[in-house]
Every structure is written in structure tokens, then in C-alpha cells.
Amino acid sequence: MSAGVGADASTGSAALAVQGRGLFKNFGSVSVLRGVDLEVKPGEVVCLLGPSGSGKSTLLRCINHLERLDGGELRVYGSLVGYKQRAGGLQELSEREVNLQRQRIGMVFQQFNLFPHMTALQNIVEAPIRVLGESRDAAVDNAQKLLQMVGLSAKADAYPTQLSGGQQQRVAIARALAMRPQLMLFDEPTSALDPELVGEVLGVMRDLATNGMTMVVVTHEIGFARQVGDSVVFLDGGVVVESGPPASVLDNPQHPRTQDFLSRVL
């Protein structure tokens, strides 16, 4: 991890929701990220596309410090992710400090990861009460509003086993939103769903985008990327091959690798 420069000396970094420069990540002898640059503006939806193993999910996990970078610099709203600057270099934050950073970042995974012994409502109120110190009444009130937002008001008392996959994923989104994040990360949120359930989850994500939520989305849903994304980043082999507005990258790709990938998935 390079020492980098301070937020005030890094041109525009404090104005960006996410800024990654020269990001490297290795798993043993395998280089998964190889000098990736990424910028996400507040209120922007950036969709990460690419074949399996291209580094998309790893990049997303680095933004939340679920994976530690081996090189480069990553900032969220101007703050270094997972590190603080000390004379002569960087010092990794304590687990408590990392958890405090993560409070501003919501993440939705491929698997729903709901607590099976808790109802939908209980799944949503747990973290605000325990982590944010909200009163139970306030947390329940907000959870009910979030369930209404994701179209599941009638399922507040249902357990995960009583919900479809699409419903579970919508509860997972509501649970992430309950922490009032400034940034939402989605790691292929529809990949574990039956095709007929994909639309209901993408609909919630469209609503979030319409309401100005900053989002980085790893997805294979090209239609969603075209309709909702402000920017599309195509990765392959751990590098950014092509990036730009959806109309440019998806409808008029310039790089042969992007052209080949899209020809296979469209």
C-alpha cells in the first residue's frame, strides 16, 4: 500500500465518493487487480462489468476494506480506506476504526445472509440498535418505512425461509439502508435469483438511483447498466479495459475485448 498524499493535496479527492488510484491486489502468486483506477462521483451509479475472475468483486471488497490492497490508494469521500497516515507511511486502522468507516458504506452480496432466526423486521433493526445506538422505537419505525420502500410491508413478521429469494434480497437491501450509508455497493445482487425474481430487485435499485444514492454495482445485467448506470467500467484480467458512459461502452465499444465480451452476453 503506497503512502500517497493527503486529501487536501489530492486534487478533487474530497469531492469524490470513491477514488482509487493504481490499485493492486494479489492472492498468492495471482494478480487480481493490476493498477486499477476508479472514480465515482456523489450520486453516481457506476456499473462494473467483465468476465468471471476479472477482479470486479475484489475491487468492490477493497472499497469496504474486506480485502486489503497490496498497492495503490483508495479513498471514500476523501478519507483513506483502512489506513491512516503516519510519518513515513501508512498505518492500518484498528478493527474498531475500520468498522466506523464501514458504517457509511452499505454492501449487498450475492447471497442474502439474513439471520434465519429473525423476522424481516428484526433483521433490519438489529444493526441500527447495536451499532448506531438507535432506540428500538426509532429503529422499528425506520425499518417499517424501508420495508414499505422495498415493497415488503406485509412481510415484516416473516422469517427468511418464508420469503422468496427476491424478497430476501430486498430485505438485505433494506437492512443495508437502515445504517444510512452514503455509498452502496452491490456484488452481483441478482446472480443467485431465479430469472423471474431479478426484476423486483433491480426495481428497488432503480428507485435508489432515482433518489440519488451513490452506487457501485457489479452486475451481468446489461440492460440495468444501460438504463441506470451513469458510467460503465469494463474489467478484464485485473485491469480497466474500457470505461465511459453506457451509450459509449455498451453500444459502441472500442476495445476488441469489450466487443467480444458483449457479443457473448447480449
Q: What is the pLDDT of residues 240-262, one digit of tens each?
A: 999 999 999 999 999 999 999 99
Phi-psi map region of 43: left, alpha, beta (phi>0 left; psi -120 to 50 alpha): left
DSSP 9: T
Q: Rounded distance, CA 181 to CA 214, Å?
A: 9
Least confident of 48-62, 77-91, 116-130, 241-255: 77-91
Higher pLDDT pick, 7 / 108: 108
Q: Rounded distance, CA 142 to CA 199, Å?
A: 25
Average pLDDT over the chain, rounded to an integer: 93
| Grid cell of 238 as nine digits | 485485473
pLDDT of residue 37: 98
87 confidence band (pLDDT: 50, 70, 90): confident
Q: What's the first-to-final CA gap in the chain, in angstroms?
A: 38
Q: Where are the beta strands (DSSP E) in the chain?
A: 18-27, 30-40, 45-49, 71-76, 79-80, 83-86, 89-92, 105-108, 183-187, 214-218, 231-236, 239-244
SS3 state at 106: strand
Per-residue model confidence as pLDDT tens digits over 195-237? 999 999 999 999 999 999 999 999 999 999 999 999 999 999 9
SS3 state at 198: helix
pLDDT of residue 162: 98
Is residue 74's pLDDT more than 90?
A: yes
**Across-strand partners of 180?**
none
112 confidence band (pLDDT: 50, 70, 90): very high
pLDDT of residue 58: 97
pTM, to two decimals:
0.92
Higher pLDDT pick, 212 / 85: 212
Is residue 141's pLDDT more than 80?
A: yes
Say which residue the cell 458510467 belongs to.
231
Q: Rounded distance, CA 266 to CA 262, Å?
A: 6
14 confidence band (pLDDT: 50, 70, 90): low
DSSP 53-81: TSSHHHHHHHHTTSS--SEEEEEETTEES
Spatial strand order of the sheet with 18-27 comes to: 30-40, 18-27, 71-76, 79-80
pLDDT of residue 7: 36
